[in-house]
Every structure is written in C-alpha cells, then in structure tokens.
Chain A
C-alpha cells in the first residue's frame, strides 16, 4: 500500500503581501490606452502611406480586440485562468455597451449636423404649397402632427385610464379583467402598420375606398397608444398603498370619490409620465399615418376633411420623392427629422423629470 504524501506547495510567485498574484488596479486602463495607441499608430502610418483618410472605426475595433487578447493572456499568466476569464468578460460586456452607444451618438450627431442648418424661419412658417425646389417649410406637417396626436390622445387617454381603473379597482382578477389584461398585451404587440390598415379598413367600409383623413390616422395612433396608457396607469395605481383606500372607506367616502379624490391624485405624477411617454411613442409613427392620413403639400386644419401631412410622413416623402435640386429635399427631410427628435426627447425628459419630482411616497 502506497501512501501519497501531499505537501502543500506554495505558489511560486506569491511570497509575501496581499496583492501578490494580482494585477495592479491600473493595469486594464494602461493596457487599453496602450493597445488603442498601437492600432491608431499603425492605421495612421498605413493611411499616411496609402494617402487615404484614417479609418477610425477599424482602428478602434482592432484596438479593442488587441486589448481583450492582451488582458486575457497577461491575467492568465499572473492571476490564473478564472480571473482571466472574468477580466475578458468584463471587457466584452463594456465593449457591448460601447457598441450600443455608437448608433445613438451617430444618429444624434448626424441629425443635428444635417438638420440644424436647415432650421430657418421659413421652415417653421410656411407649407410646401406651390414649392417645387428650394424653400418651403413644414408648418403644415407640424400642425398636422399636433392635431392628429391631440385627437389620438383625446381618444386614448380616457379609455386607457378608465380601463386601468377597472382592472385595479373594480375587476379584481375576475375573468373579464384577465381577458382585458391579455388583450392589452396583444395590443402592445400590434405592428404599427397593421393598426394603420385597421383604421383604413374601418373607415373605408363607411366612406368608400381610398379614404384619407386626419381622423383615420388619429384612430390608428389611438390603437397603438391605448395599451401603453393602460399599462403605465395600471402600474401606478398598483403602487397606491391600500391603507389610503381603507382610510377613505372608513370615513364613509363612496368608492368613486375615493378613486377620484384619493387614488388618482396620489398616482397622478406617474400617470402623467406614462401618458407623455405614450405620446412620444406615437408622435414618431410614420407607417400608419402614411397609409391613413396620406401626404399633402397644403395646410389642413380639419381632421375630418381631406389629407393631412405629419412630420414623420413629411420626412419620409421629402427623402423618398426627391425633386430638383435634391439637396433642398434632403435638407428639409433632415430638418424635419431634427424637429421630430427634439419633440420626442423633450417629451421624454419632461416625463422623467415629472416622475422624479412628484413620485408618490409608497410608504413602508
């Protein structure tokens, strides 16, 4: 019988101190800067030799890959495999975030650079009526967007909020409430173009084929907007503590007054946020408006009569049906895109500020 004696072997590198066998805290940063410097230098020399411009994206991508390889190898030698894998994953996850930021930054820069020069006074004060080349503006589209979105909001906000009230205060998980919850989920997933087709099909049945009205677009947007309003309102009503309701009932307040005077005011900030986010979602919708409200070059203040332009459709038609000179059309498209993005961002930021400032105290 042989006995194997296990003598504890100390790691050869670790002799003293707590930080032995570990890379110092600055090493990832130094490695990252070093590898980026190397690739940018290499690409710079190649660009100088061939006379082409510096390929920034290529250099950054290769630099990141070089960093990942270096940190993995060095860490594997000094710290062992497990630590090396951990560092590799940290690098990959951070890179994923950086990659996701690229389109956002690129879109923001492009829209501002291409759109801002075309933000002239004329752009905001005139329509495209009788404009064939340069000049003209998007006033008719801005008015159309405001009217259609307003109509959609008028349709969907009461329905959305009352549905949420039914689900939380009255339904209490009965079969109808469960069915409505399921259908709201289904509605959330309706593709925007299908909502447009539905609104068209609905009105075409009554007014004949080829119908194009502002109100049809508003109905299409309302179909997209209602589930978002229901969802966010529902969540906010759930946050209202039950003690508040019970206190009101104990004082003899009827149920509907409890809801109107206690529950809704407590949740109003969150509901406002949800409504504004839902507006910012539908205000940028193009496809349903393209097939329901159509496109026109003239002002139209009447939702129930004639085609109506909107900002997203304006952007689309200006870019896709370019006339002469093409720069004027592309410029107007970018200017409208910038206007659209500014509206959406302002709505988003205001909504979040409201949510932050007036958030209900949930109470523990």
Chain B
C-alpha cells in the first residue's frame, strides 16, 4: 500500500523572477513615477520662479502698477468673468446638443453627429482666434450698437459701444464655442448611460418624450452635468489665444459687455506680454500663471470630486 506523500509547503508559490519581468515592471514603474515627478516639477518651478515677484513693487518690475496683488486682481476678475459668461452660454447649449444627439436625433445619424461635434473640439484655438476677429466681431458689432442704443440703461449693456466688436462678450462667445464640444461630449456619454428600464418605465406610464427626459434622464445625469460644466470652466479659464486675439484690452475692472474698455485675462496677458518681457517682469508673469494654475486646479479637483461621488452613489457603473 502506498500513501501519497503529503505536500508540505511553507512559503506561498512564487513565480520565477526573470530579468525581462524585472526590466518591464521597472520601466512601467519609472514611467508612472515620471508623472509624479513632472507634476511636482511644474509646481516647484512655477513657485520658485514666482517667489521673487510676489513681493516686488513697481520699482523692481516695470510691468507692475503698484504691487503684485493689485496687478493680478483685475486679471483674475477678467479671467473669471469671461469664463463665467462663456459658461452661461455654453452649458444650456451643450445640454441641448447632447440631448439632441442622445435622445432626439434618428439613431443612425446620432453617431455621425457626435463625430461632427467632436471635430469642433479639434479646431486649433488660433483658428478660432482668427475667426473671432475676422468673422464674428464684425458680424456681432451691429447687434452691439443696437443693444447699446436701445437697452443702454441696463448696466451690462452700457455704452459707449465698441466700433470693432472686439469686446469681452465676443471673446466669451468664442470661448463658449470652444468649450461646447467638451461639455457636450461628456453630457452625451452620461445621457446615454441612463438605465433603459427607467426610460421605458416612464414612457410606459404615458409620459411624453420630454417628461421622460425630465423624470428619468436629468435626475440620473445631474451631477454629471455639473462636473462636465466644471471641466468646461477649467478649459475656459485657461484658454489663451482666442482671447488674446479677439479681445481689445484696456485693463481694469468693468462689468460692461459691449464697450471698448475690457478687462484682460491671465492667460491672454501672459501670451501678449511674455515675448517682450525681461528681468523681474518675467517672474511676475510666471506668478500670474501660478495663480491661474491654482484656480484651474481647484475647479478641476471640485469637478473630479463630484464625479467620484456620483460613481459611489448612483450605482451606474
């Protein structure tokens, strides 16, 4: 009679370590760490280069009116104001376009239409800048003069009207055109993820298509729409060339949309001033870039937070 020897193994089974494996996993780990290093480097270099500017005065850097904060304040205002205007236009439009593609367009057309909207996202910003100056600004200028003449009592439309049409409102329109495809793409994905059973249940209860959208799609997609808008906001805050080309700048803080006196944005100001900057002025501009980085970082982090919270609670994924 033979007994099978009992296999006794103290340490767990381990694969043989091959040089190929070690090299490959090492390379992957290195590449992953490079991301950490890069981002840390971005933060460190920006901070190091901008430290001298934070306490500079007009005597050190000719670009400053008095000190750094009085210089960056109006720029922050212009950045946020232009991006907010763009978002007010872009979000409803994007939700409409996304709804059209996901729930209203004929099924066969829907994917092609999605591609067309994605193409809009691929157009380089400098082309939008050219288009803004060459086509959009002259086209909207008559509307601006009409608005100033007939609705000038309203603070936003106060005169005098810009004769070129290159106002903050035109820049906001260009920004809206640029962020619309981004917001649309995310909204479309989320609308398509709505559980089919919810939609069919709503339709089976006799609701019209709009009532179905309102009762089944929107509650499901609300946080997704918010985070898509935040991502669009992040893009609008950092957009440079379109604003630099379209906006005719005077600086300062004003809410009037249609006048020739417009606040500048951080990104556009860097693009316009950097090529001729020297000495401490360069550090001042880098410091404004750091401010922009912090602002967009905060906006994006908030958007990601909303997305991750949605993943946990909605049960969609």
Contact A186 B39 (CB under 8 A): yes
Contact A284 B113 (CB under 8 A): no
Task: List chain B residues, Cβ under 8 A from A323.
Answer: none
B204 CB within 8 Å of chain A = no
Select from chain B the residue with minimum beta-carbon distance to A100: B97
With A93-B96, A111-B127 as contacts: A104 and B45 at CB distance below 8 Å: no
B301 to chain A, nearest CB (A): 7
Say which residue of A110, A187, A194, A204 sits within 8 Å of B134 (CB atoms): A110
A344 to B244, CA, bound (A): 22
Say which residue of B28, B120, B267, B274 sits within 8 Å of A100 (CB atoms): B120
Task: List chain B residues, Cβ under 8 A from A202.
Answer: 41, 45
Residue-by-residue, is B70-99 near A (CB-CB < 8 Å gives 1, otherwise 0)? 000000000000000000000011111101
A201 CB within 8 Å of chain B = yes
With A166-B32, A190-B296, A286-B124 as contacts: A110 and B131 at CB distance below 8 Å: yes
A262 CB within 8 Å of chain B = no
Residue-by-residue, is B95-120 near A (CB-CB < 8 Å gives 1, otherwise 0)? 11101110011000000010111111
Task: List chain A residues, Cβ under 8 A from B18.
Answer: 254, 256
Select from chain A the residue with minimum beta-carbon distance to B120: A104
A177 CB within 8 Å of chain B = yes
B107 to chain A, nearest CB (A): 15
Query: Which residues from 29 to 56 on chain A have a C-beta closer than 8 Å to any C-beta of chain B?
Result: none
Q: Which of B164-172, B233-241, B253-261, B309-317 contacts A (4 or more CB under 8 A)?
A: B233-241
B119 to chain A, nearest CB (A): 7
A363 to chain B, nearest CB (A): 20
B2 CB within 8 Å of chain A = no
B53 to chain A, nearest CB (A): 12
A119 to B299, CA, bound (A): 42
Select from chain B the residue with minimum beta-carbon distance to A82: B208
A94 to B109, CA, bound (A): 13
Contact B97 A260 (CB under 8 A): no
A140 to B284, CA, bound (A): 32
Task: List chain B residues, Cβ under 8 A from A177.
Answer: 32
Task: List chain B residues, Cβ under 8 A from A160.
Answer: 31
With A110-B134, A197-B289 as contacts: A290 and B271 at CB distance below 8 Å: yes
Contact A316 B245 (CB under 8 A): yes
Task: List chain B residues, Cβ under 8 A from A104.
Answer: 116, 119-120, 123
Say which residue of B31, B122, B130, B271 sits within 8 Å of A158 (CB atoms): B31
Q: How many A-B residue pairs have CB under 8 A?
A: 273
B155 CB within 8 Å of chain A = no
Q: Which of A66-74, A84-92, A297-305 contacts B (4 or more CB under 8 A)?
A: A84-92
Contact A223 B42 (CB under 8 A): yes
A73 to chain B, nearest CB (A): 17
Contact A107 B123 (CB under 8 A): yes
B55 CB within 8 Å of chain A = no
A23 to chain B, nearest CB (A): 13
Contact A103 B120 (CB under 8 A): yes
B184 CB within 8 Å of chain A = yes
Select from chain B the residue with minimum beta-carbon distance to A320: B245
B216 to chain A, nearest CB (A): 14
Say which residue of A83, A96, A191 sits within 8 Å of B292 (CB atoms): A191
Dominant secondary structure of chain B at its interface with chain A:
helix
Query: Which residues from 112 to 168 on chain B have a C-beta closer than 8 Å to any C-beta of chain A?
Result: 113, 115-120, 122-131, 133-135, 139
Q: Which bracket fits the contact residues of B?
A: 35 or more
Contact A287 B120 (CB under 8 A): no
Say which residue of A223, A285, A319 sits within 8 Å of B130 (CB atoms): A319
Contact A170 B211 (CB under 8 A): no
Contact B270 A291 (CB under 8 A): yes
A189 to B182, CA, bound (A): 12
Task: List chain B residues, Cβ under 8 A from A187.
Answer: 35, 38-39
Task: List chain B residues, Cβ under 8 A from A57.
Answer: 139
Task: List chain B residues, Cβ under 8 A from A185.
Answer: 300, 304
A307 to B36, CA, bound (A): 30
Q: Which of B19-27, B57-65, B194-202 contacts A (4 or more CB under 8 A)?
A: B19-27
Query: Which residues from 332 to 351 on chain A have a C-beta closer than 8 Å to any C-beta of chain B?
Result: 333-334, 337, 340-341, 344-345, 348
Task: List chain A residues, Cβ under 8 A from B38.
Answer: 187, 223, 226
Task: List chain A residues, Cβ under 8 A from B213.
Answer: 89
Task: List chain B residues, Cβ under 8 A from A294.
Answer: 275
Contact A201 B21 (CB under 8 A): no
With A100-B93, A193-B240, A201-B286 as contacts: A85 and B130 at CB distance below 8 Å: no
Q: Kindly name the residue among A104, A106, A223, A295 whose own CB sees the greatest number of chain B CB atoms within 10 A.
A: A104
A200 to B39, CA, bound (A): 15
A340 to B131, CA, bound (A): 14
A167 CB within 8 Å of chain B = yes
B54 CB within 8 Å of chain A = no
Say which residue of B267, B278, B293 sits within 8 Å of A287 (CB atoms): B267
Say which residue of A99, A171, A189, A312 sits within 8 Å of B32 (CB atoms): A171
With A186-B301, A320-B245 as contacts: A192 and B28 at CB distance below 8 Å: no
Task: List chain B residues, Cβ under 8 A from A290.
Answer: 271, 274-275
Task: List chain A residues, Cβ under 8 A from B97.
Answer: 93, 96-97, 100
Query: Which residues from 179 to 221 on chain A have a C-beta closer than 8 Å to any C-beta of chain B?
Result: 179-180, 182-195, 197-198, 200-202, 204-205, 209-210
Contact B293 A284 (CB under 8 A): no
B137 to chain A, nearest CB (A): 13
Say which residue of A86, A179, A295, A316 sits within 8 Å of B36 (CB atoms): A179
6 additional contacts (CB under 8 A) given A82-B208, A188-B300, A283-B124: A103-B177, A171-B32, A191-B238, A198-B41, A294-B275, A316-B126
Q: List 15 A-B contacts (CB under 8 A).
A: A83-B208, A162-B31, A183-B35, A183-B39, A187-B39, A189-B231, A193-B240, A197-B46, A198-B41, A198-B45, A254-B21, A284-B125, A333-B130, A337-B130, A340-B127
Instruction: Give the top 8 A-B pairs by smallest Cβ distance, nearest first.
Output: A191-B238, A284-B124, A96-B96, A162-B31, A256-B24, A189-B300, A166-B28, A287-B240
